[in-house]
Amino acid sequence: MTNIARLRPRLTRLTLPLVWLALISAATSFLSVYDLPDWQRYAIWAAAAVLAIILWLIPSLKFSGTFVDVKSSGMLICTGLGSSRRRELSWAEIASISYSPMRGILIAVKDEPELILRGYSNQKAIVAELQLLLKGK
Q: Are 127 and 99 in contact (CB under 8 A)?
A: yes
Q: Are 9 and 120 in contact (CB under 8 A)?
A: yes
Q: How many CB atoms lie within 10 A of CB 82?
A: 10
Q: Tell me how far apart the terminal alpha carbons of the chain are, to the nearest angstrom.
A: 13
pLDDT digits 0-9 by tens, 85-111: 999 999 999 999 999 999 999 999 998
In whole angstroms, how large is the CA radius of gyration of the chain?
A: 21
pLDDT digits 0-9 by tens, 49-75: 999 999 999 999 999 999 999 999 999
pTM of the complete model = 0.83
Question: Helix (H, G, I), strand (E, B), or coil: what is residue 108?
Answer: strand
